[in-house]
Chain A
C-alpha cells in the first residue's frame, strides 16, 4: 500500500491528517531554531520555549473558557483522563460514566473498581439510539447517583457513532449535586464549541492531534477554577527542586518531566487554524461529508449504517456477511484509510449492539472532499458486490 496523492484518509477520529502547513512549519521551526527545555533554566532557548508554551496555554484557555495557569500539558488524552480520574477518586468513592466511553475512561475506572478502591456505574447516554433529549440523559444519570458519588466522567462526542452528550445539562446537574464533572473532549474539540464555565466542567481532557490539528505527543487537561488533583506522576518540573513534594502551583504540579515543546508549538498553529477557519465551518463541512457518506452507504445492499438519522463527523457501518476487518483491509488496498473493529470502545459497541467482528468507521476531517467520499462509496459498493471474494 503506497501513500500518495490518491490516498483517501478517512480516519480523522484516530488522528487528523493532513495538518495545516503552518503546523508542520512551526514544529520544524521549533526543533531547528529555538527548542530548549522550558522551566529548566533562564537561557534564551529555555525562555523562548517557556514563552511559546505559555502563549499556547493562553490560547487554549481562551478557546475553552479556562485560565492559562489551569492548562496542563500531558502526553495525550488518555494520560489526561487517567490523571483526572485517579487524581480525584479516593477509597470508597463512587463514579459514573456513560455507556459510550472510550477505554481511556472505562479502563482506569475498571482497574480502580477491580482493586476495590471505588465502585462505578454506567449510565445510558442514548435512551433512544436515534434520538434522546437532554432530560432523558440526565434522568438516566440521576437514577444512579449515590451519596458517595464523587465523579462523573463522560465523553462529549462518541468515537464510534455520531452521538453527542448534552454536557451543559449534565454539568448543571453535577454542579447541583456537588459531583466533579470531567469531560473527554477528544472527538469534539475543534468541532463543537465547549465553554467550561457555561457547562460547569471541572476538568476537560483534550488531544492536540485530532480536531485541534496539532501533532501527536501532546494532550491537555484544563482544570476549572480552584480545582486540584492528586498527582499521578512525580518528578522534576523546574520548581522547588529541593522539595520532595511536587509544587502546589498549577500547572507545573501536574507536569513532571519534559513537555513536548515542538508539539505545543504545532498546537498553537493548529488552534489558530481552527479559530480562523471557524468551528462552525469545520463542523458544517464535516457534517456535509458525513451526510453524503451515509446516503451513499444506505444505497448499498447488505450495508447497515448505525444511527443513520444522527448528524456528526463520522459514520459507522457493517455488512451483513463480509467481516468488517476484510472491508477495511480491501479499502486499504485501494488506498482508502478507515478503521475496523471495536475502536478501543468496547462499552460503546456493546451499548449499540455491534455484533461480533465489530464495524467499520469512516471519520471525516476538514481536508476531506466530496471526491474522497464518492471514491469511498464506490469502493464499498464494489466490495459489497463481491461478497464471495471477501
Chain B
C-alpha cells in the first residue's frame, strides 16, 4: 500500500484537473493511466476551489487535450483546469 500523498500547487509543467470527490479523482486517475497518461491524485488547495475541499489529478500540461478528451469520454466532470 503506497498511499501516495500529494498536496501542491501546479508547477513546472504540471497541470491539475479539479474533479471533486476522492472517488471520482481516483476513477479519473485509473482512466488516465489506462490511456497512458501519468496522473496523480491530489487534494486541491482550497484557494483554488470555490466550495472548499476537493480532489483532483495532476498531469503534465502537454497532455491537457488528451486528459480533457479521456475524462469527457469517461463521463468524469472536470470542475476546472489549473495551470
Tell me, yes or no, whether A390 is within 8 Å of chain B by CB.
Answer: no
Instruction: With A42-B5, A249-B21 as known contacts, state yes or no: A50 contacts B52, CB within 8 Å.
Output: no
Q: Report how far A252 CA is from B43 CA in the complex, Å.
A: 15
Q: Are the C-beta atoms of B2 and A240 separated by less than 8 Å?
A: no
Among A48, A51, A52, A251, residue most surrounded by chain B Cβ atoms (within 10 Å):
A51
Q: Report how far A249 CA is from B52 CA in the complex, Å.
A: 14
Q: Report how far A49 CA is from B2 CA in the complex, Å.
A: 10
Q: Report how far A57 CA is from B21 CA in the complex, Å.
A: 14
Q: Are the C-beta atoms of A47 and B54 separated by less than 8 Å?
A: no
Q: Are the C-beta atoms of A252 and B26 separated by less than 8 Å?
A: no
List B contacts of A50 (CB < 8 A).
Answer: 22, 26, 41
List B contacts of A57 (CB < 8 A).
Answer: 23
For chain A residues 11-59, which have a beta carbon within 8 Å of chain B?
33-34, 38-39, 41-52, 54, 57
Among B26, B41, B42, B51, residue most surrounded by chain A Cβ atoms (within 10 Å):
B26
Among B2, B21, B51, residue most surrounded by chain A Cβ atoms (within 10 Å):
B21
Instruction: With A238-B22, A249-B24 as known contacts, state yes or no: A243 contacts B52, CB within 8 Å.
Output: yes
Tell me, yes or no, whether B4 is within 8 Å of chain A by CB.
Answer: yes
Q: Report how far A247 CA is from B53 CA in the complex, Å.
A: 11
Q: Are the C-beta atoms of A239 and B42 separated by less than 8 Å?
A: no
Q: Are the C-beta atoms of A252 and B22 separated by less than 8 Å?
A: yes
List A contacts of B23 (CB < 8 A).
Answer: 54, 57, 68-69, 249-252
Q: Are the C-beta atoms of B3 and A44 separated by less than 8 Å?
A: yes
Instruction: With A47-B3, A47-B4, A241-B52 as known contacts, state yes or no: A39 contacts B21, CB within 8 Å.
Output: yes
Q: Report how far A69 CA is from B5 CA in the complex, Å.
A: 21
The proximity string for A residues 215-242 relative to B, scoring 1 for CB distances below 8 Å and 0 otherwise, is 0000000000000000000000111111
Among B5, B41, B42, B49, residue most surrounded by chain A Cβ atoms (within 10 Å):
B5
List B contacts of A45 (CB < 8 A).
Answer: 3
Q: Report how far A49 CA is from B4 CA in the complex, Å.
A: 11
A30, closest chain B residue (CB): B1
Interface size range on B against A: 20 to 34
Q: Are the C-beta atoms of A48 and B1 separated by less than 8 Å?
A: yes
List A contacts of B54 (CB < 8 A).
Answer: 239-240
Q: Report how far A212 CA is from B26 CA in the complex, Å.
A: 24
**Chain B min CB distance to A43 (Å):** 5
Q: Are the C-beta atoms of A240 and B53 separated by less than 8 Å?
A: yes
Q: Are the C-beta atoms of B52 and A34 separated by less than 8 Å?
A: no
Q: Are the C-beta atoms of B27 and A243 separated by less than 8 Å?
A: no
Q: Report how far A69 CA is from B50 CA in the complex, Å.
A: 23
B20, closest chain A residue (CB): A249
Tell me, yes or no, whether B66 is within 8 Å of chain A by CB.
Answer: no
A52, closest chain B residue (CB): B1
Tell me, yes or no, whether B6 is within 8 Å of chain A by CB.
Answer: yes
Task: Pick the contact of B42: A42, A49, A238 (CB < 8 A).
Answer: A42
A72, closest chain B residue (CB): B23
Q: Are the C-beta atoms of B5 and A43 separated by less than 8 Å?
A: yes
Q: Are the C-beta atoms of B6 and A42 separated by less than 8 Å?
A: yes
Q: Report how far A177 CA is from B23 CA in the complex, Å.
A: 33
Tell me, yes or no, whether B72 is within 8 Å of chain A by CB.
Answer: no
Q: Report how far A251 CA is from B21 CA in the complex, Å.
A: 8
List B contacts of A51 (CB < 8 A).
Answer: 1-3, 26
List B contacts of A44 (CB < 8 A).
Answer: 3-5
Instruction: With A44-B5, A47-B4, A47-B5 as known contacts, state yes or no: A240 contacts B22, CB within 8 Å.
Output: no
Q: Contacts A44-B4, A243-B51 known; list 5 others, CB within 8 Å.
A: A51-B1, A239-B54, A240-B53, A250-B23, A251-B23
* Interchain residue pairs with CB less than 8 A apart (24): A39-B55, A42-B6, A43-B5, A44-B4, A46-B3, A47-B4, A47-B5, A47-B41, A48-B2, A48-B3, A50-B22, A51-B2, A54-B27, A69-B23, A237-B21, A238-B22, A238-B53, A239-B52, A239-B53, A239-B55, A240-B51, A240-B54, A241-B53, A252-B21
Q: Which A-B residue pairs are the 10 nearest by beta carbons?
A: A48-B3, A241-B52, A242-B52, A42-B43, A240-B51, A249-B21, A42-B7, A39-B22, A44-B3, A252-B21
